[in-house]
Chain A
């Protein structure tokens, strides 16, 4: 295959990762209905680390929630890897997420009563894999994230950075094609935040995965392939670097 054809094929595959068309979302608070997202058209390519930045209340969380299949848009369409996810039945959508999406939360949301390896194994266990086999797979990932020695510890015996690495392992263990993270470093100090992001970039971006990260953390902007700026529910900047006025 020529390198031109190769690039072409890659581009076709890349186009398919995530696409949103005319996505809008309203929230009703009391009598008032407020539109927090206005007609978002967006394509996210595979193999890219995309940052979603913007002021508080600009709609970042709302947008990635819609993009990963946990929040219904009021208008518009979301395709994940070619599937029109909001036209799936409820149970098919849940199943779709289980196979295709990995989540990293600001507050980790690990289960306190089970150890690190079991926490990281949760998506595989939910898929029906034998618990011990799932744990073994999770431990491999914990090793890649340099915390294999913490595998038997309960979440409250780990530091924040270690907990977030367990959460990263949980987001990756079932090899999803999309990883979404909302403020993954907000609860960490600068050094652990940086380390977590380095690891995330290193481990997550393999295999043509798409990673979307909502962040305020300007210390880690240099790691992004693409930075999207959201202002009042509209994308106002799309590029490799942050706009000058930010």
Chain B
């Protein structure tokens, strides 16, 4: 009977494709939007992810994220270095600055000052040039997304001069970095140079990046640093989470994406529900005849379930494929750099699709079950 059910469904091409479209559309909308959402809010942690070698981030007690922070006096560095279990500690400066482009436009940029000696603070990989280009005076390294914002795609910016806060800077390399949440251009330079580029008050040290001694656990080390220095210390994972939470709490992004995802669900219910009930209405005579002949309710249930299952499987597959295609298609676009589909996302849309089909299938089934077999003679 399942074979008959499937043939009934596929035999009505218009409604079959309508159902597939409904499910595929819902899946695509939900999967794609959730994927963008997750990747976008994870950008709140990009500043942390770009410095994977730091086990612990130390900051002023009021600082919250890599971008929302209060600088500390430079003496903080020595205090942190003296804490037991600290293998190394380096200064890290993050500040806003402006760049005057060749066209004369003013662009806001982030300046990151990395440790002069070890260059810790620079992303692990360079897209162009080696990390040691920062040894040169005036040298800055630009992040790859920043390159496309300042220069034409495919342009090699090495050697280009910039006016950074009215001071001369020369791009000497391109870093392979995860873009920031705002996809603002980021310029890396040595800590000592950064102090020149970004004038300010006495306190300029944004963070102290700490490596834990072998065998020392990051969490325990962070607790000890706080106890000994009175500064706020967060492990890499905690601080990444802080960045994500900050975006969730302070932007309308979760609400916006939430609404779109809900819309995907509602549209799915509407399209699938409508098409499914049209399909059942058109086939109600046949279902009635089957019931009169002696097909019991359990078999009828299995038939409708098979129809829903078939639509669900194919439609869901198409929707997920569509999302993969979307991510793949835009993988060259810097805005979508590093985007991936977390495994939870297809699972969530699978649950949504199952809900849509369970709901609409149940309504359709009720109609079939309620049909009197005696109605076939009328």
A16 to B377, CA, bound (A): 25
Q: Nearest chain B CB to A177's CB is how many angstroms away?
A: 13
Q: Are B294 and A101 in contact (CB under 8 A)?
A: yes
Give, as a whole number of angstroms, the nearest-CB distance from B280 to chain A: 14
Question: Roughly how many angstroms separate A64 CA and B293 CA in the complex, as a whole number?
Answer: 14
- Is A125 in the interface zone, CB < 8 Å from B? yes
Bound-state Cα–Cα, A111 to B297, Å: 18
Assuming the contacts A105-B376, A114-B4, asked whether A97 and B289 have C-beta atoms less than 8 A apart, the reply is no
Q: How far is the CA of A111 from the CA of B337 in the complex (A)?
A: 52
| B216 touches A (CB below 8 Å) | no
Query: A180-199 interface mask toward B, CB cutoff 8 Å, 1 = contact, 0 = none?
Result: 00100000000000000000
Beta-carbon contact of B377 and A111 below 8 Å: no
**Could you tell me the distance in whole angstroms from the C-beta of B307 to the nearest C-beta in chain A?**
12
The contact string, 1 if C-beta is below 8 Å from chain A, for chain B 342-377, is 000000000000000000000000000000111011
CB of B155 within 8 Å of the partner chain: no
Do the beta carbons of A113 and B285 come within 8 Å of each other?
A: no
In the docked arrangement, what's the CA distance between A137 and B297, Å?
Answer: 26
Tell me, yes or no, whether B228 is within 8 Å of chain A by CB: no
Given contacts A70-B374, A105-B377, contact A126 B299 (CB under 8 A): yes
B289:A113 contact, CB within 8 angstroms: no
Q: Which residues of A contact B295 (CB under 8 A)?
A: 94, 98, 126
Scan residues 45-61 of chain A and give those whose CB is less than 8 A from a CB of chain B. Answer: 61
Question: A72 — nearest CB in chain B belongs to which residue?
Answer: B374
Q: Which residues of B contact A110 (CB under 8 A)?
A: 286
Cβ of A133: which chain B residues have Cβ within 8 Å of it?
none
| A20 CA / B285 CA spacing, docked (Å) | 28
Candidates B1, B9, B285; contact of A107 at CB < 8 Å? B285
Q: Are A105 and B294 in touch, CB under 8 angstroms?
A: no
Check if B87 is an interface residue, CB within 8 A of chain A: no
Quick check: is A122 within 8 A (CB to CB) of the other chain? yes
Tell me if A122 and B374 are in contact (CB < 8 A). Answer: no
B217 at the interface (CB under 8 A from A): no
Contact status A61-B377, CB under 8 Å: yes
Q: Measured between C-beta atoms, what is the minimum distance from A137 to chain B in Å?
A: 15
Report yes or no: A99 in contact with B285, Cβ–Cβ below 8 A: no
Contact with A along B6-20 (1 / 0, CB 8 A): 011111100000000
B53: min CB distance to chain A, Å: 64
Give the residues in chain A near B173, CB-CB below 8 Å.
Answer: none
Q: Which residues of B contact A123 (CB under 8 A)?
A: 293-294
B4–A122 contact, CB under 8 A? yes
Nearest chain A CB to B339's CB is how many angstroms away? 42
What is the CB-to-nearest-CB distance from B369 to chain A, in angstroms, rounded to a whole number?
Answer: 11
- Cβ contact within 8 Å between A65 and B3: no
A to B contact number (C-beta, < 8 Å)? 83
Contact of B376 with A109 in the complex, beta carbons under 8 Å: yes
CB of B251, distance to nearest CB on chain A (Å) = 51
Inside 8 A of B299's CB, which chain A residues have their CB?
126
Query: Does the CB pair A111–B374 fall under 8 Å?
Result: no
- The number of chain B residues with a CB under 8 A from chain A is 28
Q: Is the CB of A109 within 8 A of B285?
A: yes
Give chain B residues whose Cβ lies under 8 Å from the Cβ of A113: 7-12
The reply to whether B377 and A97 form a contact with Cβ atoms under 8 Å apart is: no
| Residue of chain B at shortest CB distance from A68 | B292
Q: Of A95, A103, A131, which one neighbours B292 at CB under 8 angstroms? A: A103
**A118 to B296 alpha-carbon distance, docked (Å):** 19
- Judged by DSSP, the binding face of A is helix
Q: Does B314 contact A (CB under 8 A)?
A: no
Q: Chain A residues with Cβ under 8 A from B372's Cβ?
A: 70-71
Chain B residues with Cβ below 8 Å from A65 are 374, 377
- How many angstroms from the CA of A34 to the CA of B9 in the assembled complex? 40
Q: Inside 8 A of A243's CB, which chain B residues have their CB?
A: none
Give A217-245 interface residues, CB cut-off 8 Å to B.
none
Residues of B within 8 Å of A125, CB to CB, are: 1, 3-4
**A112 partner residues in chain B, CB cutoff 8 A:** 11, 286
Within the complex, the shortest CB–CB distance from B2 to chain A, in Å, comes to 10
- Contact between chains at A70 and B10 (CB < 8 Å): no
Contacts of A61 in B (CB 8 A): 377-378
Per-residue interface assignment for chain B, residues 224 to 256, with 1 indicating a CB less than 8 Å from any chain A CB and 0 otherwise: 000000000000000000000000000000000
Taking A97-B293, A109-B288, A118-B4 as known contacts, 20 extra A-B pairs with beta carbons closer than 8 A to each other, sorted by chain A number, are A70-B292, A70-B374, A91-B297, A94-B295, A95-B296, A105-B377, A106-B377, A107-B285, A113-B9, A113-B11, A113-B12, A114-B4, A114-B7, A122-B293, A123-B294, A125-B1, A126-B1, A126-B295, A131-B3, A170-B293
- What are 25 A-B interface contacts by the 8 Å CB criterion? A64-B377, A65-B377, A70-B373, A70-B374, A70-B377, A94-B295, A94-B296, A94-B297, A101-B294, A103-B292, A103-B376, A105-B376, A109-B286, A109-B288, A112-B11, A113-B7, A113-B8, A113-B9, A113-B11, A113-B12, A114-B7, A125-B4, A126-B290, A131-B3, A170-B293
